[in-house]
Structure 1
Amino acid sequence: MIFIDRQEVIALLPEGWKAKAKTVTDALHAASGSAERKEIIADNEELWRSIKSVLAGVGYHKCWYCETAEIRSDNAVDHFRPKGKVSGTGHGGYWWLAFDVKNYRFACTFCNSRRHGDGGTTGGKADHFPLVAGSQRADSPLVSISVEIPMLLDPCDYFDTTAVWFDETGQVKVNPEAEAIEENVPDRVSRSRDLYHLDHVRLIEARKRIFLDVLEMCDQADGALLLYKSTQDATARTVFHDSINALKRMRREDAPYSAVAKCAVRGYRSSSPSAKIIAEVS
């Protein structure tokens, strides 16, 4: 999961979009009841679909939750806080946020919808939006959503993106540094792994490949550096520099599973001079 700045989305909205969204939202507030609100939302779905390309571009055309670009495609615009009912609660949904761009997340099919995956896994956010135990839930437009502590990690919250860690097996782990700051981080990571379907086998395998590729590139760089230091061989120096450049590219946010690459580099920095350079300088 990489950080997505919602201000970038807002800056790229087509001319007139915010005005249209406000008009529809005003109509929702004026509606006589839930049935009329559902009809208004259904009649205006094209409004959020029309900015799908904007959301995709800001996230480098990767799912905001899992960073998948292709193997879990058919991306959709997810309402972080469900616009309809909230599963497992009596909440009728955050209808007043249905056309609030700050509530949109670009999501792949396996993160956004309930799906059965390889290895018997099941996941998908759908209409789930659990809160941390004891958190108040905003049950109307009169209550600010700031009273809520979401259980699900949010790619638009930088701290949340730091909570997820990955290991050499491709599995989701908890970043101990984030846990030291907020004690509920392990529960939030666990619930997010389940509802975003981050334990999908093909996704784990993809992350594992990236992790191992990073370690291999670090070893290549370290070997070339050692050879250059002992022989002053120009070719070895070139290999070292090219390997460092490759590691830098693997950590770029537009690269496949860049969050995994960053974890691999950070975890290897104590034993790899090249990983240390990348982790501490970039």
Structure 2
Amino acid sequence: MIFVRRDPKLIPEKVLRVAERAQAELEALPAEQRAAFIEKKKRIWRAFARYLSKMSYGKCWYSESDCVHSFMDVDHYRPKKQAKRSDTDSDDGYPWLAFSWDNFRLSAQRANQINHDDATDETVGKGAWFPLMQGSRRATWDDRCIEDERPVLLDPAKLADVRLIEVTATGRMGPTRFCLGEYERTRVHDTVRLLGLDLPGLVSARQGAMRLVQEIVELVVQNKTAAELSAAASAFVSLHLRADSQLDMLQRLTKPDRPFASAARAQLKLMGYEDLCLRLEQGQEAA
């Protein structure tokens, strides 16, 4: 999962106005007509896909995959028509957020849609799932207290949430040191499970990014060792095996526009080269 800094300036005014008009129409409808109206207007949130994509360099906000050979969905973080809280509990969800772009997240279809993975024999995908922690307030059409809710699913639009999850040494997702209690660890575990963030293909892609980082670092270290053998060796390495180009390559792998940049950063941290990760003060997002 990556943090995405949402930028309304990337969205044309016309697209925003269409969503606002639909929202005004929805507010005037009786309860029994809302779901049909929302379904009829799905083109409205789909129109936001290209602008959400610009905010994340084309990557899924949940999995960090660029999914170049499949469509991306515009996911409603809080489900628009039905919210499934558990295997036995569901409600009408958050219809008043159906056209709110603050509720939109760009998602790979495997994270957003319910699907069965043959490799793991698991059913994964967010679908209508939106569980709340036990004891949490639950927002409704008449009491829209979403700020008082305690969602289980981590939100890629909240930096505090993204700080709870990271790529581990195995390429799987796990809790960070900022998970200080059972509530945070539960959120990480259930987010990974419900969104399929540890499906074999994703784990393999992260491992590939991590192997590339490891190989480049090992090459830099080998060249440094060779340069220390003699003055002649040092001159050869400086001329033909320039470390700065290899270090630049490592930094590029941590840029937010690279798929699985978080895996590259994780590997650098594991190897003790965290200082090579591109820093936010260098003008980059936290993706």
TM-score, with length taken from structure 1: 0.90
Secondary structure of the structure 2 residue equivalent to 1:184? helix
Count of aligned positions: 272
1:79 and 2:80 equivalent?
Answer: no
Residue 265 of structure 1 deviates from its aligned partner by 1.0
Residue 168 of structure 1 deviates from its aligned partner by 3.1
Q: Note closer, same or farther for the CA distance 1:267–1:16 as it changes in structure 2 (3 Å cut).
A: same
Match of 1:218 in 2: 217
Quote the Cα distance in structure 2 between the aligned partners of 1:280 and 1:202. 26
| Contact 1:63–1:69 (8 Å) recurs in 2 | yes
More helix by share: 1
Quote the Cα distance in structure 2 between the aligned partners of 1:15 and 1:131. 34
Match of 2:285 in 1: none
Match of 2:4 in 1: 4
Quote the Cα distance in structure 1 between the aligned partners of 2:128 and 2:201. 24
1:145 and 2:136 equivalent?
Answer: no
Match of 1:24 in 2: 22
1:252 and 2:251 equivalent?
Answer: no
Q: Note closer, same or farther for the CA distance 1:194–1:71 as it changes in structure 2 (3 Å cut).
A: farther
* Alignment deviations for residues 175-208 of structure 1 (CA, whole Å, 9 cap, x no partner): 12x113x552211110001111012111111111
Residue 235 of structure 1 deviates from its aligned partner by 4.4
Quote the Cα distance in structure 2 between the aligned partners of 1:235 and 1:134. 66
Quote the Cα distance in structure 1 between the aligned partners of 2:255 and 2:142. 39
Unaligned segments of structure 1, at least 5 residues: 270-274
1:131 and 2:132 equivalent?
Answer: yes
1:69 and 2:62 equivalent?
Answer: no
Q: 1:33 aligns with which of 31, 34, 51?
A: 31
Q: Note closer, same or farther for the CA distance 1:72–1:193 as it changes in structure 2 (3 Å cut).
A: farther
1:262 and 2:265 equivalent?
Answer: yes
Secondary structure of the structure 2 residue equivalent to 1:81? coil
The structure 1 segments of at least 4 consecutive aligned residues displaced by more than 3 Å after TM superposition are 229-232, 279-282
Residue 267 of structure 1 deviates from its aligned partner by 1.7
Quote the Cα distance in structure 2 between the aligned partners of 1:144 and 1:253. 33
| Contact 1:72–1:109 (8 Å) recurs in 2 | no
Q: 1:45 aligns with which of 30, 39, 42?
A: 42
Residue 19 of structure 1 deviates from its aligned partner by 2.2
Quote the Cα distance in structure 1 between the aligned partners of 2:121 and 2:216. 33
Q: Note closer, same or farther for the CA distance 1:280–1:246 as it changes in structure 2 (3 Å cut).
A: closer
- Percent identity over paired residues: 28
Secondary structure of the structure 2 residue equivalent to 1:119? coil
Match of 1:122 in 2: 123
Quote the Cα distance in structure 1 between the aligned partners of 2:173 and 2:237. 36
Quote the Cα distance in structure 2 between the aligned partners of 1:145 and 1:82. 12
Match of 1:272 in 2: none
| Contact 1:72–1:110 (8 Å) recurs in 2 | no
